[in-house]
Structure 1
Amino acid sequence: MRLAVRDIDILDLPPDLEPTGDYQGALVLIRVAGRPCGQAVIAFDTDGGKTPIKDRILSAAGSSVFEAWLRHRLALPDPSPTPSQLPKATVVICTRDRTEDLERCLTGLLAMPDKADILVVDNAPSNEATRDLVGRFNTVRYLREPRPGLDVARNTALRNAEAEVVAFIDDDAVPDPLWLKTLLRNFEDPLVLAVTGLTMAVELETDSQIAFQHFGGFCRGFRRQVYDAHNLDPFTGWHAGAGVNMALRRTIVDAVGWFDEALDAGTLSLAGGDTDMFRRVLEAGYRIIYDPEALNWHRHRRSSKELQQQMYGYEAASFAILTKALVFEGNPRALPRMVRSYIRLLRRLFQPRHTHQFSLPYNDALTQFRGAASGPVRYLRARARALKAGHKRG
């Protein structure tokens, strides 16, 4: 199954959305006057063209689209923050041996109207291809970090950033033109340590990509949210956003500590560095803002094997974070949450598998349970390795 990805403005709809090629439908990002406000999945030509495209999109869209359209029609005041001055930013891409993706990301960053210090952290590369690529971009800084681990690379970026805000984007993502400016406008409140944004799929060419998007992907909705420990459980910090699209005050290190170098890609814990940082931000009494107008586009994992590894890793990381909170921080909420989560995953194992339009050649419930079961031991081993190597622990 393949879905086209379309980016449209409801005020200026194209005459036709149906592309050439073997696409069964489309994931449509819906804007109103340029602002992302909803999404819809539509099937192509299921009724012989009797229903206009606009009607098909609106019938599949959520209430946020109608609210944005009504606000525009009534010319209501813009609710977005409008600070008199934006903070300076360093944009960071942590990467390893993915030059094709990195080139697309850098090209998108340099095309933004708002210029920034751009830093590429080359994490334990196997060759010089990334350095050679970055050398073609005169305004981009390059830094080699020989120690493997995404959180190691993030900490290296925080130490070497030249601005007060550090904006992270994954190498397999591309920013929308106003991505950085939108992130930066949300730092007026001194209690805000992190800002995240909306990440949409740049392509849905395989069942695995469609499955990841179906299960939520990196989309956290289309309404701006201000999170603190009163309205978001710190252990569910992933609801506030993801590391593919986040900006942090550089002073976050003084407030809550470094990224935990026993977590995330390149370690036995597999993932979770961003979620753990969000958890600590909320627990320390600070705030995280999610702004869907800070948009970037991500290439999801294309193969079923990659998706299976990703789903396994997310659950392993979730239980790694709970283990960290329980064993090393003495957090009394960690154990009951761990027990409830295991029970939830066990129940899923014995429930009938849902039938989807896409096919997965593996049992996703079993994959997630196996990841969760491995999480505690994975973190203990990863932490021991990090201690031996002298790595930082958040």
Structure 2
Amino acid sequence: MLASIISIDLTAPIPAVEVVPPYESLLVLARIGHVPVALVSIPIPPALGCITPKHLHATLVAATRPLLWEQGIERQLQQQSDPTEWPAISVVVCTRDRPAALAHCLAALKALDYPNYEVVVVDNASREASTAEVVAHAGLRYVREDRPGLDWARNCGAAAAQHDIIAYTDDDVRVDSGWLRGLARAFADPQVDAVTGLVLPAELDTDAQALFETYGGMSKGMRPRRFQHETLRSDQLIGVHALGVGANMAYRRHVLAHVGGFDTALDVGTPSGGGGDLDMFHRVLVAGFTFHYEPTAMVWHQHRRDMAGLQRQIENNGRAFGAYLLKIWKQRSAPRHVTARFAYRWMRHYLLPQVWRSIKRSHHVPLSLTLGELRGAIDAPRAFRATYLHDHRLRTRTGA
């Protein structure tokens, strides 16, 4: 269902909202200041082009009433616990040949409500000069990593960063103005070593974008959560997709150094097609460090607009997750029987039922997508071998 997306602060007057075709619903992020409370979907009757403040107010209150008191208290506590000095943060954006998307990303980063940060743009082997031109026009730092692969770029960005907290986002993301304040509040606890945040859709203007949200999207919810090795089962140390996504993550510098940086054989630009963020989440937790999921550290992601792009993404997700599991199996970072059981359940209780529901048409996800993810998972062993061979050859050729 195509949706118009707006953000409404419940402490301010609620406006009238005009919704025009082709939108069929209004997706409202209800928030109290920078604290997200709920994501509310409001269907739009065909004859109704405008939602009045009264109707919108009643709908939002009904949807959020159980949460308002709790979130209001949480907001007050957050404000009381704001750092006396906001820590300096380095923001790393990795990009390749997407100047238009990058320009929008950098404009949002320059508008951040934060007193002390830098932006480092890593050009990952772009073939045109337009990336450097966009960064120069924005007046931000530019570095180039000629070895293709997102994790090469992430490591390059960490090496170039000047500050001890390093935050990562992608060129298809528009950060919320309070993003870094949310990260800083989480890092104000000295026991927190890494932080992820809320990722919401920037738009739901096409069928492909709406389908991606139906398939699961990127959001991990509106509630903060803590993840620590000693409180997680072995299978939870593998299922780290519950922590967040690579489009919104941050680490203390010593954490990245301790685990050896991102695995350059993984993620976009390699035969694996992804998995670098999950691998990092897993290794950080296994090493004994603490993750915090902080929804006030919020960003808006530009989902793929066309079905062909979504098809590639979903298939890559299956391939990347399989490669991630194979790395855990090979390196024994979890007991092998736990890894095998996790892989079996992923296939038996997630991938195959998804395909079956598409065949029966008991959900709205087309068979081409669910089969694509299954096809990617089946291809994972080949991709795993190919991606580490590719990485070895690249390192040999470049002397890395």
TM-score by length of 1: 0.90
Point out where structure 1 has 5 or more consecutive residues left out of the alignment: none
Which residue number in structure 1 is paired with residue 172 of structure 2?
172
Contact 1:40 1:57 in 2 (8 A): yes
Q: 1:386 and 2:391 equivalent?
A: yes
Q: 1:153 and 2:156 equivalent?
A: no
- TM superposition shift of 1:132: 1.2
User: SS where residue 42 of structure 2 aligns?
Assistant: strand
User: SS where residue 312 of structure 1 aligns?
Assistant: helix
- TM superposition shift of 1:62: 8.1
Contact 2:2 2:207 in 1 (8 A): yes
User: SS where residue 271 of structure 2 aligns?
Assistant: coil
Q: 1:126 and 2:130 equivalent?
A: no
State the alpha-carbon separation in 1 of the partners of residues 63 and 214 from structure 2: 14
Contact 1:39 1:61 in 2 (8 A): no
Between Structure 1 and Structure 2, the one with more helix by share is: 2
> What amino acid sits opposite 1:342 in the alignment?
M
Aligned residues: 385
Contact 1:30 1:65 in 2 (8 A): no
Which residue number in structure 2 is paired with residue 216 of structure 1?
216
Query: 1:348–1:174: structure 2 CA closer, same or farther, 3 Å change rule?
Result: closer
User: SS where residue 251 of structure 1 aligns?
Assistant: helix
Choose from 348, 361, 367 the match for 1:353.
Answer: 361
State the alpha-carbon separation in 2 of the partners of residues 355 and 348 from structure 1: 9
Percent of aligned positions that are identical:
34
What aligned pairs does 1:134-145 form with structure 2 within 5 A after superposition? 134-138=135-139, 140-145=140-145
State the alpha-carbon separation in 2 of the partners of residues 146 and 173 from structure 1: 23
State the alpha-carbon separation in 1 of the partners of residues 333 and 93 from structure 2: 34
Which residue number in structure 1 is paired with residue 249 of structure 2?
246
User: SS where residue 186 of structure 1 aligns?
Assistant: helix
User: SS where residue 192 of structure 1 aligns?
Assistant: coil
State the alpha-carbon separation in 2 of the partners of residues 318 and 93 from structure 1: 23
Which residue number in structure 2 is paired with residue 99 of structure 1?
99
What aligned pairs does 1:255-294 form with structure 2 within 5 A after superposition? 255-294=258-297
Which residue number in structure 2 is paired with residue 4 of structure 1?
4
Query: 1:240-261 deviations in whole A, cap 9, x for unaligned?
Result: 1111111111112332221111
- TM superposition shift of 1:363: 2.9
Choose from 377, 382, 389 the match for 1:377.
Answer: 382
Q: Structure 1 residues 311-320 or 331-340, which shifts more? A: 331-340
User: SS where residue 186 of structure 2 aligns?
Assistant: coil
State the alpha-carbon separation in 2 of the partners of residues 167 and 76 from structure 1: 25
- TM superposition shift of 1:238: 1.6
Q: 1:338 and 2:343 equivalent?
A: yes
- TM superposition shift of 1:342: 1.9
- TM superposition shift of 1:113: 2.9
State the alpha-carbon separation in 1 of the partners of residues 85 and 67 from structure 2: 29
Query: 1:42–1:66: structure 2 CA closer, same or farther, 3 Å change rule?
Result: farther
User: SS where residue 204 of structure 1 aligns?
Assistant: coil
State the alpha-carbon separation in 1 of the partners of residues 143 and 34 from structure 2: 36
Query: 1:341-360 deviations in whole A, cap 9, x for unaligned?
Result: 2222234333423343xx74
What aligned pairs does 1:298-313 form with structure 2 within 5 A after superposition? 298-313=301-316
User: SS where residue 340 of structure 1 aligns?
Assistant: helix
State the alpha-carbon separation in 2 of the partners of residues 52 and 263 from structure 1: 48
State the alpha-carbon separation in 1 of the partners of residues 310 and 68 from structure 2: 30
> What amino acid sits opposite 2:131 in the alignment?
T
Contact 1:272 1:317 in 2 (8 A): yes
Query: 1:301–1:65: structure 2 CA closer, same or farther, 3 Å change rule?
Result: farther
> What amino acid sits opposite 1:337 in the alignment?
F
Query: 1:267-314 deviations in whole A, cap 9, x for unaligned?
Result: 111111111100111111111111111111111111111111111111
Query: 1:172-217 deviations in whole A, cap 9, x for unaligned?
Result: 1111111112212222344422111111111110111111122331
Which residue number in structure 1 is paired with residue 192 of structure 2?
192
Point out where structure 2 has 5 or more consecutive residues left out of the alignment: none
Query: 1:341–1:20: structure 2 CA closer, same or farther, 3 Å change rule?
Result: closer
State the alpha-carbon separation in 1 of the partners of residues 168 and 131 from structure 2: 18
State the alpha-carbon separation in 2 of the partners of residues 306 and 101 from structure 1: 15
What aligned pairs does 1:226-241 form with structure 2 within 5 A after superposition? 226-229=226-229, 230-231=231-232, 233-241=236-244
How well do the aligned residues superpose, as a CA RMSD in angstroms? 2.4
State the alpha-carbon separation in 1 of the partners of residues 278 and 186 from structure 2: 20
Contact 1:64 1:223 in 2 (8 A): no
Which residue number in structure 1 is paired with residue 82 of structure 2?
82
TM-score by length of 2: 0.89
Which residue number in structure 2 is paired with residue 29 of structure 1?
29
- TM superposition shift of 1:56: 2.4
Query: 1:311–1:58: structure 2 CA closer, same or farther, 3 Å change rule?
Result: farther
